[in-house]
Amino acid sequence: MNLGQLTILQECILLAVFVPFAIFSMKENLSLDFLWAGLCLHGAAFFIFRPEMLKWLACPAQAPLSAKTVPCALP
């Protein structure tokens, strides 16, 4: 992973933890701002991880959680 991917992943985890904490513990009102922030981060995660996803789609055996480690012949 590169620095950009780590940063986006950190923000996604932070939002997934902080939003329920803010709503249930801090009694914040649920607003559309939480939704928009989540959608923006999901979009950022998609675009920052897209090169790896395309490699994994072309050769599923090279995916990080793949049980097989068979080399693929990429065109």
Q: pLDDT tens string for the chain (75 positions)? A: 789 889 999 999 998 999 899 989 999 998 898 889 889 999 999 999 888 888 777 776 666 665 555 566 655
The residue type of 40 is C
Give this prediction's pTM.
0.67
Q: Is residue 55 part of a domain?
A: yes
Q: Is residue 72 part of a domain?
A: no
Q: Is residue 56 part of a domain?
A: yes
Cβ–Cβ < 8 Å for 16, 42 = no
- Domain residues for the domain of 31 are 3-62
- The distance of Cα 66 from the centroid of its chain, to the nearest Å, equals 18
Q: Is residue 57 part of a domain?
A: yes
Q: Is residue 40 part of a domain?
A: yes
Q: Is residue 11 part of a domain?
A: yes
Q: Is residue 58 part of a domain?
A: yes
d(CA 32, CA 42): 15
Q: Is 8 exposed, middle or buried (0-12, 13-18, 19+ CB in 10 A)?
A: buried
What's the domain count of the chain? 1
